[in-house]
Amino acid sequence: MSVIQSIETVSIPRIVRFNNKNKGSRKNLIVIKPEIRKITEQKQFLKLGLLNIRSLTPKAVIINEMITDNSLDVICLTETWLKPNDYFGLNESCPPGYCYKNKCRPVGCGGGVATIYREILNVTQKTNYRFNSFEILVLTVTLSDINKKSLLSLALATVYRPPGPYVDFLKEFADFLSDLLVNVDKALIVGDFNIHVDNTNDALGAAFTDLLNSFGVKQNVTGPTHRLNHTLDLIISHGINPTDIEILPQSDDITDHYLVTCVLHTADICQIAPQYRLGRTILPTTKDKFTNKLPDLSHLLIVPKHTNDLEKITSSMCTTFTSTLDTVAPMRLKKVREKNTVPWYNNITHAIKRETRDLERKWRQTRLEVFRIAWKDSSSRYRKTLKAARAEHLCKLIENNQNKVLI
């Protein structure tokens, strides 16, 4: 019987050696600055938005555009589902000229609150508020003019209360209000409270309303803020009166909550000189006025015998038409209302966005399920197209700057 003998082997992993001769230097990197459009209009108010986004990162480009489309100075987000040190979605969500503050859920999945705001606002975060029954991000927002005179100062708190038992929540929220209202004159508390304040028979809703009344604060949102027709997203104010509250339903592809916006009126935000351009005001009646003001042109409607005569007739008609138009619709300076669109917004994304808006209007008018499904599909396609356009824009930006080095 043969005996199999074992052969001992020795294995040594390959040592990876890096060639440092061609090692890049960070000193040669440059910062590619996107176009930052300055505010060209003097504002008299701040516009604030509130949305439960249910996972920010895959919808960051949509939030970016939502801020621009609705001219939001501040947007408060709940259920961001971000992890600690996860800033990619937040950076993508900020249009040029915006910053953010956020607070992640310390353990587990879900949750998270964030606030995105204009750079013209001086914002500091208060870190001394921690509760077990709800998540909160408290900011001090200050607005100053060019002389550094304070025009507005308020505490802005973004709250997310997960569904579940509420005994601890009522106690902790009462403690939060009692501490906050002692220290500030103006406060705005916004967020998804998961409380059916619209249902008078709901025990938690009634207890929460009584709590707010006992502190003398006001809940400003009326109407459903969720797909199931409940009022869950609230704007609670103290010492300040939000106006022009709007509730804007979103596609199910984005979130099942609605975007809630309001306006906070202030003094002059900043003394920025407005820009003007020359333009005419053309009204439906301008055409008839222009025709009636035209002089007799019969002497010009003749066939010229020479080229020089044709040039004279053309020049004379042009002068006549211009002078008549200046009479009925003179050139005037008009204030430029510049809309800060993102640089990757193009004709393709514009067409899909218009199609999505049309389907949304049809669904709101008819409430037919076929239009709701079409709106959802179109919204999903628009989001993918917008992300692809953004990626293409950034690739071109990097490619155009790849050979530039610092001197």
Taking only the tens place, the pLDDT of each residue in 90-105 is 999 999 999 999 999 9
Secondary structure of 26-85 in HEC code, one letter for each residue: HHHCCCCCCCCCCCCCCCCEEEEEEEECCCCHHHHHHHHHHHHHCCCCEEEEECCCCCCC
The answer for residues whose C-beta is within 8 angstroms of residue 207's C-beta and 6 or more apart is: 166, 170
Residue with tokens 């351009």: 277
Query: Considering only CA atoms, which of 153, 159, 170 is closest in space to residue 136?
Result: 159
Q: What is the pLDDT of residue 42?
A: 42
Cβ atoms of 111 and 55 within 8 Å: the answer is no
Angle at 71 between CA 70 and CA 77, to 5 degrees: 70
CA torsion, points 251, 254, 260, 261, in degrees to nearest 10?
-100
Cα–Cα distance for residue pair 193/49, rounded to 1 Å: 16
Token digits for 313?
A: 């007739």
Cα–Cα distance for residue pair 179/197, rounded to 1 Å: 24
- Banded model confidence at residue 145, pLDDT cuts 50, 70, 90: low
**CA dist list (Å): 267 to 87, 145, 151, 275, 400:** 34, 9, 6, 20, 43
**pLDDT greater than 60 at residue 40:** no
Q: What is the pLDDT of residue 36?
A: 40
Q: What is the pLDDT of residue 406?
A: 45
- Banded model confidence at residue 35, pLDDT cuts 50, 70, 90: very low
Cα–Cα distance for residue pair 49/277, rounded to 1 Å: 31
Token digits for 279?
A: 């333009």
Cα–Cα distance for residue pair 354/92, rounded to 1 Å: 23
Lowest average pLDDT, out of 205-214, 338-347, 349-358, goes to 338-347
Q: Please compute the mean of the pLDDT values over residues 343-356 and round it to a whole number.
A: 84
More confident residue, 66 or 345: 66
**296 φ, ψ to 5°?**
-70, 120
**pLDDT greater than 50 at residue 18:** no
More confident residue, 268 or 404: 404
- On the 0-12 / 13-18 / 19+ scale of CB atoms within 10 A, 198 is middle
Q: Where are the domains of the chain?
A: 45-265, 276-335, 347-400
- Banded model confidence at residue 28, pLDDT cuts 50, 70, 90: low
User: How many CA atoms, within 13 angstroms, populate the side-chain half-sphere of residue 268?
Assistant: 11
Cα–Cα distance for residue pair 92/82, rounded to 1 Å: 13
Task: Give me the percent of the chain exceeding a pLDDT of 90.
Answer: 43
Query: Considering only CA atoms, which of 342, 357, 351, 356 is closest in space to residue 391?
Result: 342
Cβ atoms of 198 and 151 within 8 Å: the answer is no
Alpha helix stretches (DSSP H) within 248-346: 286-293, 307-328
Cα–Cα distance for residue pair 4/150, rounded to 1 Å: 90
- On the 0-12 / 13-18 / 19+ scale of CB atoms within 10 A, 271 is exposed
If residue 371 lies in a helix (H) or strand (E), which one and from where to where?
helix 369-400
DSSP characters over 189-229: EEEE----TT-TT-HHHHHHHHHHHHHT-EE---S--BTTS
Q: What is the pLDDT of residue 269?
A: 36
> In the predicted model, what is the mean pLDDT of the chain?
82
Cα–Cα distance for residue pair 123/143, rounded to 1 Å: 9
Cα–Cα distance for residue pair 254/260, rounded to 1 Å: 15
Superfamily of domain 45-265: Endonuclease/exonuclease/phosphatase (3.60.10.10)
**What global pTM score does this model have?**
0.66
